[in-house]
Amino acid sequence: MNKMTLENVQETLLLPLWGRAVETQKQKPLLVDTLAVSIVKDLAYDFKKIEKNMSPITCAAWIARSIYFDEKIKTFLSKYPEASVINIGCGLDTTFDRVFNGKSTWYELDLPDVIELRRKYIKESDKRIYIATSVFDESWYTKIGNKDHVFLLMAGVIYYFDEKNLKKLFKKFCKQFKHSTAVFDYSSKKGMEIANKKVIENGGMSSNARLVWWTDNIEELEQWNEKIKIFEHMPIFTKHKKNYPFYKRLGMNISDTLKIMSLAHLEISGV
């Protein structure tokens, strides 16, 4: 078994990993990730606290997010098959294995300790390139090949950054990429408070891994830069509830009403 030594925000990558493993082992899974199952079994980490305290609604949100992002990437690659896909805060994410089209180039970016762990389970290739650095270290932009068409995947990431740094990050995207699409999940103020209590704290994560950024109006991002346009946004279960029986939709309806977690799709016209 591989020892897990991640700390702070990096440790949170275990939450959606565990969620995908749980979903995969259901009789009729909505998403299949056999690699997640094998990683969870191999990691020398006690998942019991996550298993005991994580609600089915939270698990469903991770799956809803993955399905939504998968669909957006597939659509983008159907238009720009040789595009660059940049998975920011990739953790142990396996989106590549579900949607890779054989022509695009993927850049999996995360902090060095995360990439070190990732290499133990997921192989790098000429189409799947690892970048071990902070997203705020601007040197990584020089490693991106095709900058004309870029898909920015940010799953479970941006709410760990403060607004000042987020504005700088999106400004940099506008300067670096000719045309890019970005997808990410985000929370409302109430959602941030609930997530910090019900997910981060109850899941046994570090107190340094708390969510810090929230917005009750995602369209405010268009004011950050004139090149940012909101293409779509919605509470996370909007398109996902149809996959569940009525009694399970009740909790999802409450979550969506409070906007605990939402999904956003932005278009960024750059250089």
pLDDT at 53: 81
Contact 191, 214 (CB under 8 A): yes
pLDDT at 209: 67
Structural domain range at position 48: 2-269
Task: Provide the domain count of the chain.
Answer: 1
Provide the CA 233 distance to its chain's centre, in angstroms. 15
pLDDT at 193: 87
Q: Rounded to an integer, what distance in angstroms lies between the CA atom of residue 88 and that of residue 92? A: 11
Model confidence, pTM: 0.92
pLDDT at 4: 54
pLDDT at 5: 58
pLDDT tens digits, one per residue of 94-147? 999 999 999 999 999 999 999 999 999 999 999 999 999 999 999 999 999 999
pLDDT at 269: 84
* Residue that is written with structure tokens 């900058």 in the block: 147
pLDDT at 141: 98
CATH number of the domain residue 9 falls in: 3.40.50.150
Contact 155, 65 (CB under 8 A): yes
- Point out the residues of the chain with pLDDT beneath 50: none
